[in-house]
């Protein structure tokens, strides 16, 4: 009985050992299969990632290629707009400069004309108040040369009797402008007020004190100059 029991124990021990030898191999084979599957999955993921990255690069390249012409058109459009704006500004500045120049020219012309009117009025007052019996014809002719219109016609009619009177009385008068200014200006004519001090002397008579005369003198433009068109003595 003891021998049978020992024999049974040895068979059971060998059976367990055989199982232990076979099972580790199986476990190794199982683990090896799992590792291979994991490597295959990793390889698939890598390949898929590379393919996706390549697709993204292709998409970006396509977008760049598609956006290239649009960007170029926008740049050309911006250049055209800038050129157009610059041209508009240039035209506006040129027009403004021309307008300012014209205004300046007109203002300069108006100033020159006012100065001319006033100078003619002053000279007309001096011509009328500075007369000598020794040069009566020359003095009277100077008055007529600076006159126009009805004043010229009236003075021409009276010029000879006036010369005769000056010579007969042997009178001499000298006028001095004390004040003068334009009262009004309109178009090609103006009206000036002139204050004159006049000193008169006659041969054989006592010297007279200066007298103050005031005259309103109308001046009219004639050609490039101006002449006296009317004279009014103001008390």
Give the pLDDT confidence of 105-146 residue by residue, as tens digits: 777 888 999 999 999 999 999 999 999 999 999 999 999 999
Give residue 83's pLDDT: 82
Q: What is the pLDDT of residues 135-187, one digit of tens each?
A: 999 999 999 999 999 999 999 999 999 999 999 999 999 999 999 999 999 98
Helical spans, DSSP H, in 130-181: 136-145, 149-169
Quickly state the pLDDT bin for 14 (edges 50, 70, 90): very low
Q: How many other C-beta atoms are found inside a 10 Å radius of the C-beta of residue 180?
A: 17
* CA 10 from centre of chain: 121
In terms of Cβ atoms closer than 10 Å to its own Cβ (0-12, 13-18, 19+), residue 167 is: middle
Higher pLDDT, 15 or 151: 151
- pLDDT score of 191 more than 70: yes
Domains assigned to the chain: 112-234 (3.10.450.50)
């Amino acid at each position: 009985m003891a021998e049978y029991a020992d024999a049974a124990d040895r068979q059971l021990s060998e059976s367990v050992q055989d199982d232990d030898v076979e099972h580790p191999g199986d476990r190794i084979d199982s683990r090896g299969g799992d590792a291979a599957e994991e490597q295959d999955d990793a390889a698939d993921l890598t390949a898929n990632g590379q393919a996706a990255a390549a697709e993204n690069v292709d998409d970006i390249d396509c977008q760049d290629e598609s956006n290239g012409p649009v960007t170029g058109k926008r740049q050309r459009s911006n250049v055209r707009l800038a050129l157009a704006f610059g041209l508009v500004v240039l035209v506006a500045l040129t027009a403004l400069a021309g307008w300012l120049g014209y205004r300046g020219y007109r203002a300069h012309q108006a100033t020159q004309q006012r100065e001319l009117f006033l100078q003619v009025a002053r000279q007309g007052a001096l011509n009328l108040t500075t007369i000598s019996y020794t040069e009566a014809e020359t003095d009277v002719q100077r008055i007529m040369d600076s006159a126009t219109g009805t004043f010229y016609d009236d003075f021409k009619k009276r010029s000879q009797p006036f010369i005769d009177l000056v010579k007969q009385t042997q009178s001499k008068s000298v006028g001095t402008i004390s004040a003068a200014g334009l009262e009004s200006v309109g178009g090609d004519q103006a009206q000036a007020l002139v204050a004159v001090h006049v000193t008169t002397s006659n041969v054989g008579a006592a010297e007279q004190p200066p007298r103050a005369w005031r005259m309103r003198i109308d001046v009219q433009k004639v050609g490039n100059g101006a002449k006296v068109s009317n004279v009014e003595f103001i008390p």
